[in-house]
Structure formats: structure tokens, C-alpha cells
Amino acid sequence: MKANFITMIAALLIGIPAMAGITPDSIESNETAVNEKTKKAEIIKTGLNFGPLPVVAFDADRGFQYGALLNIYNFGDGSSYPNPKSWWYIEASAYTGGTWNLYLNYDNREIFDNTRLSICTNYSNESAMDFYGFNGYQSIYTYALDNFFENNPDEFTFDSSTKKGEKAQTKFDNGKGKAPKGFYRYSRQSFKAKADLTGKIAKNFFWEAGYSFYWINHQEFNPTGYKPADGSLYSLYRDWGIFNDTGANQYVSAIKAGLMYDSRNVENNPTKGIWAEAHAIAAPKWLGSSMDSYKVSATFRQYVPLGTDKVVFAYRLAYQGFLGKNTPWYLMPFYSNMGYNRDYDAIGGYRTVRGLMLDRVQGLHTGFYNVELRYRFVDFQLFNQNIAFAVSGFTDGAHVFKGYDLTNRTGAKPELYKKYIDTSRADGLHASAGGGLRFIMNQNFIIAFEYARCFNKQDGKGAFYINTGFLF
């Protein structure tokens, strides 16, 4: 899904930029009419088109990403271009921070009359997933704790019985290795699959329905077998009985339904219109879930041209709320989407709140916003492709409206509980601001370079991203 310089160069050289730019985060949900003037100037793709590309990107939370992807598009007679009639997406990639992913996605607009079928599957192995606690500022974060073991080398030991642990110990003793950043980390494996249908009700109005399945396995972060003195925040939450699951392997089997309004003029690079969605998701135990869970979500996006389509004011408002008192804690990081879009792994980072540490904000009822001013300052043609550059300034933010129950149910380790959790304070706004530069080719292939910084140091330092597409 993500690409940067290598992808751009490859696309230009092998002549596939127009069809290679449609990614899971850039294909949108309705078939808007393509600007006729622009369409006449472009090479109209027909039939099957194949787009093998490298995956090279950077995420401040996960590190550099590398891998490969394959796009397979069927444009038929070309009448729907740049929207394919059907589409396959295959990706295998990894991050230097300890995450690797496998994706297999499929999207089809022709199997059913006036109904779109979208299937998304993903397996992720995240050996160092972020965990900063629940309820925002009620969970205290400091940079010193994130680097606790580096600053306190006597507080952990390596497992010398393993080759990995022995090697890490040797490097550390020789002053060449770094201590692991383990206090705000845990390990998570997950498999996610969903199949969604989207059908037209009336002009710009659509219904959505589908099914999703999650398998989630979460464990203590333990890259080299080290044992920190106080454990980790994840282990402390278990000691205090805050987590409500009984084992590492959890299953979620859910049915979904919702409504969508979409009046955007262009799918991937809109300059006017509204895109709004509202959904209800039910995952009862009788359907195969480990625990009952019910939630609602709503997202509103609007794009307003300011005198010209070169200057656009855009914003997004998003909300997600879990119903009931026994909501599984391991579902709170995921923000659900319908259609071909993947579910977000957490609030924070490039796809939700830029600059905010990934998973910094978790709660029963959460919301986030993005406000952005976009300026496309140059347009030209190169190698028979339509090229544009745009800059943007933005502010993002998130807030926990209703928190998770953080009661120390076991009474264990009361001193540590007071050290890391303060339920007397209410959550505040987790806000950031920043700017970016985008390379846009054929309105589909978009490379983004962005930097954002949070206003509160508890939300992290500045973050830089290289990725694809617009945030929304």
C-alpha cells in the first residue's frame, strides 16, 4: 500500500503510473464521473493491467518499510477508467521496528448489479506493538519511561540460554548494543478478514453491509528474553486485573451494517463534495466471538474549494463508541472501516492523527479530527502523464469521551499503580500541527511527505512520514 521514491521512478520508467496508483487507501467507494477534459488528455487503460512495485516507506512509529506489492486491475473497455471494474492487491512487507504484514485484497463492481463487493485479508506480526495505557492522559507517559532500560541498565537481564539473547548480551556488554525499549511495548499477532457489500439507494446515497473476522494473539514483549524489574505497562495492567480477557487467543466474529453519502467530484483527489458514513457492528458470542462486543462509528468528511480547485479546505470528524460494560480491551485500538479500506490498527500515526504516538489514545468512546488546507501549486505533463505538486498545512487531534474502567481490581502493586495511572484527572485534547508536500500523478498515484508535532510532550515528539495518498 505504501511507496515512495523507488515506486515513483519505477512507475515512470515502466509506464504503469496511472494504474499502479490505486491502493487500498486511495480507491474510494462510489463511481464518480471523471473530469472529461482530464480524461481526454490521459491514456485510457483497458483490459487487464499488472503493476508489480517495491514497497518503500517510512513511519515514525514503526520505522522504514520494505517489501513488494502486486496490483492487478481489470479496466474492461476503459469506460470506468481510472476506476477499475475489478482489482486485486497483494503485498508482503516489513518494518524495521519489528512488524511484518501480508495483504490480499479484492474489489469488484460487476459481480452483482449495482452492488460493489470488497474483500480485505491481512496477517500482521507486531513484535513491538505500542501500548501506552487507556483513557489518554489518565495513563501517564514520559519519554524517560520509554527509554527506561537504556537509562537503567541494571533493571533488566538477557536470556543467555538463547542464541539471540547471548548475542544481544555480548553486544550490550561491549557497548555496541542498545537496551530494549520495552516498558511501553507488547507483542501482537492478528489475522483480519472482512467481506463488505455496497449498493446504491439513490443519487449519492448508499447502503453498506458485511461480515468481519479477527483472530488476535497478544503476549508480553520479549525480543531477547530479558526480564525488566517492574515488567511492562502491559504486564502491570494484567497484574491489576484491568484486562478482561482470560487468554492470549481471542476471536471476533461480527456483522456490520451502515449508510454512506458520497458526493465527491473525484475519488482519490477530491476538490469538492461530502463523504459521510455511519455504521453499527455487532460481535456476539453466539456468532463465534470470545466476548460480546457492540459498537457504532461515524465519519464525516468535506472538501471545500476556496475560489479555485487548486486551493481546498478539507476536514474529517470521526467517532467510535463501544456499548456495554465488558468491552474487550483488545478491540479498542482498532477503528473499523467499511469497503475496501482496511481497519486502522490504532488512533495515532499517519492514517488518523499525525504526530500522535500510535495507540496513545484508547477508550470506550473516542473521536479524532483532521483539518487541512491544500494548495496544488503546479500542474504539468511529463512522459505522457499528468503531474502535480501540492503543499498542505494541517492540525489533527483526538480525545477520549468515555474511558475504560482502570480500577485496580486485584490491589496488586499499589505504588506502581499510583506511579503510572491517575484517574483523578480527565482526558484532554491530544492535538498536533504540521505540514506536507505531495507528488500527484494522474490523480491516483500520490506520494506524501509530512511532518507533525504534538503540543503536549506526553503525546510524543515530532514525527515524519513518507506514505501514499491523502489522509482522507
Is position 127 within any domain? yes
Q: In terms of Cα–Cα distance, which of 422, 432, 348, 372 is closest to 396?
A: 432
Q: Name the pLDDT band for 144 (thresholds 50, 70, 90).
A: low
Residue written as grid cell 455487532: 282
Supply the DSSP symbol for 340. Answer: T
Q: How far apart are CA 470 and CA 472, in angstroms?
A: 5
Number of domains in the chain: 1
Q: How far apart are CA 421 and CA 338, in angstroms?
A: 35
Is position 314 within any domain? yes
Is position 151 within any domain? no
Considering 26-40, 64-78, 80-94, 302-316, the range whose residues carry the highest mean pLDDT is: 302-316
Q: Say if residue 431's pLDDT is above 90.
A: yes
Q: Say if residue 396's pLDDT is above 60.
A: yes
Lowest mean pLDDT among 23-32, 50-59, 70-79: 23-32
Which residue would you say has higher pLDDT here, 247 or 4?
A: 247
DSSP-based three-state secondary structure for 125: strand
The pTM score is: 0.80
- Give 392's strand partners: 374, 436
Q: Which domain holds residue 410?
A: 113-141+184-468
Q: How far apart are CA 40 and CA 56, in angstroms?
A: 32
DSSP-based three-state secondary structure for 171: helix
Q: Average pLDDT, stretch 16-38?
A: 38
CB proximity list for 268: less than 8 A, separation 6 or greater: 21, 22, 26, 27, 28, 82, 443, 444, 446, 469, 470
Q: Name the pLDDT band for 442 (thresholds 50, 70, 90).
A: confident
Is position 408 within any domain? yes
Q: In terms of Cα–Cα distance, which of 412, 453, 451, 352 is closest to 58?
A: 451
Is position 39 within any domain? no
Lowest mean pLDDT among 17-31, 251-265, 355-369, 422-436: 17-31
Considering 3-7, 143-147, 368-372, the range whose residues carry the highest mean pLDDT is: 368-372
Residue by residue, DSSP assigns 349-412 as STTSSTTSPTT----SEEEEEEEEEEEEEEEEEETTEEEEEEEEEEEEEEEEEE------SS--
Q: Average pLDDT, stretch 1-23?
A: 35
Given this model, what pLDDT does residue 84 score?
76
Q: Average pLDDT, stretch 253-272?
A: 91
Q: Say if residue 155's pLDDT is above 60.
A: no
Phi, psi of 165 (to 5 degrees): -65, -40
Q: Average pLDDT, stretch 316-326?
A: 91
Given this model, what pLDDT does residue 9 score?
31
CB proximity list for 236: less than 8 A, separation 6 or greater: 230, 413, 416, 417, 420
Mean pLDDT rounded to a whole number for the chain: 81
Q: Say if residue 220's pLDDT is above 70.
A: yes
Is position 101 within any domain? no
Lowest mean pLDDT among 10-19, 48-57, 319-328, 421-430: 10-19
Lowest mean pLDDT among 82-86, 124-128, 332-336, 359-363: 82-86
- pLDDT tens for 290-307 read 999 999 999 999 999 999
Supply the DSSP symbol for 139. Answer: B
CA dihedral of 24, 25, 27, 33, whole degrees rounded to 10: 180
**Percentage of residues of the chain with pLDDT beyond 90:** 47
Is position 165 within any domain? no
Given this model, what pLDDT does residue 53 score?
76
Given this model, what pLDDT does residue 173 score?
65
Is position 166 within any domain? no
Given this model, what pLDDT does residue 97 score?
82
**Percentage of residues of the chain with pLDDT beyond 70:** 79
Which residue would you say has higher pLDDT here, 436 or 174?
A: 436
378-382 contacts at long range (C-beta below 8 A, 24 or more positions apart): 381/41, 382/12
Q: Say if residue 60's pLDDT is above 60.
A: yes
Q: Average pLDDT, stretch 314-326?
A: 92
Which residue would you say has higher pLDDT here, 230 or 280?
A: 280
Given this model, what pLDDT does residue 183 score?
79
Which residue would you say has higher pLDDT here, 78 or 251?
A: 251
Q: Say if residue 26's pLDDT is above 50.
A: no
Q: How far apart are CA 338 and CA 355, in angstroms?
A: 25
Q: Say if residue 19's pLDDT is above 60.
A: no
Given this model, what pLDDT does residue 21 score?
37
Q: Name the pLDDT band for 18 (thresholds 50, 70, 90).
A: very low
CATH number at residue 253: 2.40.160.50
Q: Say if residue 39's pLDDT is above 70.
A: no
Q: Say if residue 260's pLDDT is above 90.
A: yes
Q: Name the pLDDT band for 208 (thresholds 50, 70, 90).
A: very high
Residue written as grid cell 465527491: 264
- Give 273's strand partners: 303
